[in-house]
Structure formats: C-alpha cells, structure tokens
Structure 1
Amino acid sequence: MKNFLSPFDADETLKLAIHASEHGDTHSAIRYLTELLNIQPDHGAACYFLAMQYAEIGLFERAITTLQHAVEINPTFDIAQFQLGLLYLQTQQMLQAEQIFSGLSLSSHDPALTAFSLGYLALFKEQIPNAIHHFQEGIAVCSNDALSNDIKRVIAQVENAAQNSSIPKLNNQDIAHSNHFTETQTEQASTTNEHKTLTGFLGAYLDTIDEDNGPH
C-alpha cells in the first residue's frame, strides 16, 4: 500500500528528468539527474542526458566533463563521443575536437557518425567540397532525423560561407538543441547564429542510448 511513497528508481528518475526537459524545465531535469548520479554514478544514459542539459543553459565545460565521464563508463558510446567532439568545437578546443572526430572516423560502429566525423575533419582542413560530400554520405545512411537535420544545417552554413569566401566562425551561442521525445524514446532512454554555429547539439539522440551497448 505504501509503494507509491517509495523513492524513485533510476529508470523512473530518468523519465522524470526527460519529462521536465520536454516541458522546458531544464533546472528540474538537472536536479533529477544529479540525484540519480549521486546514487548511481556510472549510469551512462543519465550522464549523457545531464550533459545535454548543461549545454542547453551554457555550462559547456561542465557538459564536457560530464560527457567525458559517460565515455569513460562506456568507450563505445559513439554518440556521446560525437557530442563531446561538437562541444570541443563549440568551445574552440580544436585539437581535442579533431582527436575525437579522428577516432570516430576509424572506430565508430555507426556509418553516419563515421561520415559526419570525416566531414568535420575535412572542414578543419578547409576542404569544403570534401566535407560536404562526407556530410551528405552520412545523411544518406542516418536513421536519426534530428541528427540529419542538424547536419543539413551545417551543410547550408558551409555552402553559404563558401559563397562568401569565408569559413564559418564558431562561437558558444545558440546551440541548436532538438529535444522532442516520444514515449517510446523515453522508454529506450531509461534502459539505457554572429549566432549560428557549425555545431548542432543533438539532445534528441537520447533515443539512441542503450545502457549496455551504447547507441544503436
């Protein structure tokens, strides 16, 4: 009879955090996630989602640290590594971003992330046609609409900058954060502009998390 008064378990707390984020309550989402991680510090999905929330409110270094922990927990957590690379790029840590994308280009199990990483590596070398080619290759095999749409925006920015004979400048403003969860995505997560920038922050990718096996 008193089960409804019992503390929330990890999966329930993560669902509460996702629900709060869906309704624009980032602070409550952070509170739920930190509570969860204080009890279960190696919960990779919670680390990943907490990093998304930190980035949403501009706490980029804290987001980076949290993503680093998620990758330490699961070195094959490819989408967390990709997000980490984007955050390094967002915060002008170009060497670290290059290292992340270089590694993913060789080891990722997701062909879309492999192609997108190659695209960013080409972009670093100002090889614009090559970068666009890789980005388009990735879009062709990407099963995540939010990620595909973000990369399409990157292509549009790169093409516009190329027409103006300039390379897009990176800053830490207006991370494009898609955060539209369905109930099914929530269940999967629990088991587991100048203002525009080159980076699209990919919060909707929580639905690709598998706690044991990384993104799928």
Structure 2
Amino acid sequence: MKFTDNLNLDEIFHCALSASEQGDHAQAIILLKECIQKEERAVYYYMLAAEHAEIGLYQYAIEEMKIALEKDPNLWIAKFQLSLLYLTTSEIEEAATVWLELKESNATDYLKLFAEGLLLLQEENISLGIEKLELGIEANNENKPLNGDIENIIQTVTENNIREEQQNLKDESEVLLESKLNKDSAINKIFISKYQQDSNEN
C-alpha cells in the first residue's frame, strides 16, 4: 500500500510541490506522474517538465512542456519556459519562434518584455535587449525565481560582450602589429638587398 492511496489528487499534487521545494526531485517526479495518471492537467505536465529540467533531462522537459501547452495554450509561463529550454539545448531558431509568438500574444507584460529582450539579443542588439529584460524584471512581481534566471542571462551576455570587445581590440592590435612587422620585414629585405649589392660592388 502506497502512502498516497489515502490522498486525493490535490493532496498528492501538494506533496509533489513540497518534495520539489525540498529538492527531492525523484519523489516529486513520482508524485507528479501519479497525478497525471489520475488526471492529465496542464499544470501537472508543466511541473513535471520543470523537475526534469532541474535534473538535466531537457528533452523530456521540452516534450512535457509542449503537452502542457496543448492542454492549456494560455499557460504563458510554460511557453516562456519552453523557450528557455530551447535556449539551453541550443535550438535557437525554435526559441526565437516562441519569443516572437509571446511578444505578439496576450501574455503578461513582463513575459512579453522578456521575449522581446531575448529576441533583440538574438539579433545582436545587445544594449536594447538588456534594457527590455531589465524592464521585464521591474514589471515581474509574481515570479521572482524567473527574475533570477533573466539576471543570469543578462550577466552572461554582458560578460560575453566584454570578452568579445576585448578580443576584437586584441585582434585589431595584432593586425596592426602584424602589418607593422610585415612593413619592417619588407624594409629589412630592401636593406639586406642593398647591403648585398654594395658588398658585391666592393
């Protein structure tokens, strides 16, 4: 006899949420699957996708997030999380498609700002993209953990942008130095040639 045999569906779901909060992903997954066996709700698939993402099973998470959206197309947070899963698995075109759909949807303002910001980043409009993401963070008062994810993206993009600028400066310096060395080399060849001519004449 399982301990859940005497629990109703809502009780099992709340036990799953509790297990998730405590970091017991295995127990959360077991309980969420039991919820789905009893009734296939969008929120159960959404939470199951989140648990699989937590343990690195991203393809499982993507498929479950898609099912959640099939059952509730207006579960906008699931749509946005799907885009982040695509981003994690380097499926950039799929992520961009979701961001565009979100931007033009009836989703909450902060999700639309996040989607717009990520689209701009994908188009390499870094400064405006970060500005939109920061506006989204300011507008988001209902999902603080998501703000943390967006802040991590901003930090990563900023650091990568700084490294890229430094590399570009380094590359430009190397090109200038190489050009100078090549000129010196050519000049040296002229002097050597002239020296050899002078030596032969002597």
The alignment partner of 2:53 has SS state of helix
Determine whether 1:60 maps to 2:58: yes
* Structure number with higher helix proportion: 2
Structure 1 partner of 2:35? 36
Structure 1 partner of 2:95? 97
Asked whether the equivalents of residues 114 and 133 of structure 2 are also in contact (C-alpha less than 8 Å), the reply is yes
1:165-186 deviation digits (Å, cap 9, x = unpaired): 17xxxxxxxxxxxxxxxxxxxx
- Structure with more contact order per residue of length (Cα contacts < 8 Å, sep ≥ 6): 1
**Structure 2 alignment gaps of length 5 or more:** 166-202
Deviation of residue 33 (structure 1)?
Answer: 0.6
Match of residue 70, structure 2, among 65, 69, 72: 72
Asked whether the equivalents of residues 4 and 12 of structure 2 are also in contact (C-alpha less than 8 Å), the reply is no
Larger Rg: 2
| Aligned residue-pair number | 162
Structure 2 partner of 1:121? 119
Cα separation, 2, equivalents of 1:145 and 1:22: 15
The TM-score, its normalising length taken from structure 2, stands at: 0.76
Cα separation, 1, equivalents of 2:69 and 2:38: 19
Change (3 A) 1:5 1:99: closer
Which letter does structure 2 place at the counterpart of 1:148? N
**Structure 1 alignment gaps of length 5 or more:** 167-216
Deviation of residue 112 (structure 1)?
Answer: 0.4
The alignment partner of 1:113 has SS state of helix
Deviation of residue 61 (structure 1)?
Answer: 0.6
- Deviation above 6 Å: which 4+ runs of structure 1? none
Deviation of residue 5 (structure 1)?
Answer: 8.4
Structure 1 partner of 2:146? 147
The TM-score, its normalising length taken from structure 1, stands at: 0.71
Q: CA RMSD, aligned part only? A: 1.6
